[in-house]
Amino acid sequence: MENLNTNPTELKRGLKARHLTMISLGGTIGTGLFLASGGAIHTAGPGGALVAYAAIGIMVYFLMTGLAEMAAYMPVAGSFRVYATKFVDPAFGFALGWNYWYNWAITIAAELAAVVIIMKFWFPDSPSMLWSALCLAIMFGLNYLSVKGFGEAEYWFSLIKVVTVVVFLIVGFLMILGIMGGEAIGFKNFTIDDAPFNGGFFTIIGIFMAAGFSFQGTELLGVTAGESENPRKNIPLAIRQVFWRILLFYILAIFVIGLIIPYTTESLVSSDISDIAVSPFTLVFERAGLAFAASVMNAVILTAILSAGNSGMYASTRMLWDLARDGKAPKFLGKLDKRGVPVNALIVTALMGTLAFLTTFFDDGVVYIWLLNASGMSGFIAWVGIAMSHYRFRKAYVAQGRDLKDLPYRAKWFPFGPLFALIICIIVILGQNYTAFTGGSIDWTSVLVSYIGLPLFLILWLGYKSIKKTKVVSLKEANFDVKQ
């Protein structure tokens, strides 16, 4: 296979194996780990947080290995949108594509808002628009240069996050053993009061949902398949890192935090990005005697924000370009420049993110909150699409008499893997705000705010299905051709 695609109508395969490996390693490291993990431990206890994150980690492992099986065999930029179109229903693929584009476009807006708060830590009197505009320019520029520009930026952003977590784990274990920060801590904080579990089963379910948000973004590897050198080899190689990443970065980090900081510590409960001092990473570093911890973690979280925004702009631009190329978005969005960059789709995506960000200045940010809530469920819906697509991909592959040995990469534990992931995702989607139904009366405002993303997706799906009269794809007629 050629490493560089010279077709002017196709994306360039400029992402190397090291880019994919680091994107895989750093893909889920962000504010979910650096900030929200503290709230999870405070709510469910260290044991409860470990159970919730481990369960979600197993689910994500099955999702990503299933995605790797499809992406290695059919490396396309549209990723699971294309797979859903080919193996489930064209209407389902249409809805997934627009859902995913919207999700990441709104994420760009969220990062523009977050970077302002981070920069105010160092420059409290500076104008907010300055930092958001600078952040947008950086994200746009990295994506405009070439796919290599995106890949290199993500490589270094991810490397910073990975190094931070590794240093944190080393310092943490030295503290637990008493080599740093005073006497040995041991397991005393893991068993105080109601630890390691606090609040019972439903508390763990609540953390279960929060953990899911922390892992969103891992599916980005599937989107990069269309621009990867030798995707049949490199995509599975990167996906294999998923299990070890989950084990190292989340499970061990939560284990270390739970051992060092009592789960009853009130400062753990805040997940407000404006207060970096409450990051459990900061608390651990400070207890180790590292006084500069807050400033260092502030810089690392800034890196995580830029990384998320950069990834969001890349993923949403490629999805919009692919929708246009397939006739499901305006035709002008499907054009590439001579460097293989979908510039028109990039500009429209950046404008969408900017407009969404500007809503933070109106109506006390009410419009912005609604936009964020609508996108919050989108990641889980995308995961449902991956699980369904993989299940039907494998079924169609066998139904058409193809040999499983010919797959470049084969996901293990089929069909348990995709079915397990599908069930867990549906539980998380339906249980987003189960407390709104458990009171004396249903809190309809809270229900609408939490679940608005679901009816929007259903309108796209069923609306397209009604207009185009699409049908569920027959397993024996599913199209395995990479070209659409």
Tell me the domain boundaries of the chain: 17-470
Q: Which residue has the higher pLDDT, 184 or 372?
A: 184
Mean pLDDT calculated for residue range 332-345: 89
The token pair at 66 is 């299933």
Return the amino acid letter for 354: T
Q: Tell if the pTM clears 0.95, that is, is over it.
A: no
* Poorest-pLDDT segment among 161-165, 261-265, 372-376, 468-472: 372-376
Q: What does 319-351 look like in DSSP terms, one character per residue? A: HHHHHHHTTSS-GGGG---TTS--HHHHHHHHH
Q: Tell whether omega for the bond before 231 is within 30 degrees of 0, i.e. cis.
A: no
**Which pLDDT belongs to residue 273?**
57
**Shortest CA distance to 114 belongs to which of 135, 140, 142?**
135
For range 284-305, the mean pLDDT: 85
Confidence grade of residue 20 (pLDDT, cut at 50, 70, 90) = confident
Q: Is pLDDT above 70 for 274? A: no
pLDDT of residue 6: 44
The region that residue 342 occupies, defined by phi over 0 for left and psi between -120 and 50 for alpha, beta otherwise, is beta
Q: pLDDT tens digits for 81-128?
A: 999 999 999 999 999 999 999 888 888 888 888 888 788 878 888 888
Report CA-CA distances (Å) from 294 to 260, 263, 273, 281, 283: 18, 20, 12, 9, 9
pLDDT for position 4? 42
Band of pLDDT at residue 209, cut at 50, 70 and 90: confident
Average pLDDT, the chain: 84
**Tokens 């987003």 sit on residue:** 432
pLDDT at 235 over 90: no
Alpha helices in 74-146 (DSSP H): 80-87, 90-122, 128-145
pLDDT of residue 228: 79
Q: What is the tens place of the pLDDT at every residue in 402-432?
A: 999 999 999 999 999 999 999 999 988 888 7
Mean pLDDT of all residues in 288-304: 85
Pick the more confident residue, 226 or 427.
427
Contact 77, 226 (CB under 8 A): yes
pLDDT value at 349 more than 90:
yes
Q: What is the pLDDT of residue 2?
A: 38
- Dihedrals φ, ψ of 344, to 5°? -60, -45
Residue 324 above 90 pLDDT?
Answer: yes
What are the tokens at 327?
């006739």
* Spatial contact of 280 and 33, defined as CB atoms under 8 Å apart: no
User: How far apart, in Å, do the first and last CA atoms of the chain sit?
Assistant: 19
pLDDT on residue 204: 83
Q: Rounded distance, CA 81 to CA 269, Å?
A: 37
Give the right CATH number for 17-470 from 3.30.70.260, 3.30.460.80, 1.20.1740.10, 3.20.20.140.
1.20.1740.10
What percentage of the chain reaches a pLDDT higher than 70? 93
What's the rounded Cα separation, in Å, for the pair 164 and 442?
A: 44
Q: Which of 85-99, 155-169, 428-442 has the highest mean pLDDT?
A: 85-99
Once rounded to an integer, what is the mean pLDDT over residues 146-150? 80
Whether 484 has a pLDDT exceeding 50, the answer reads no
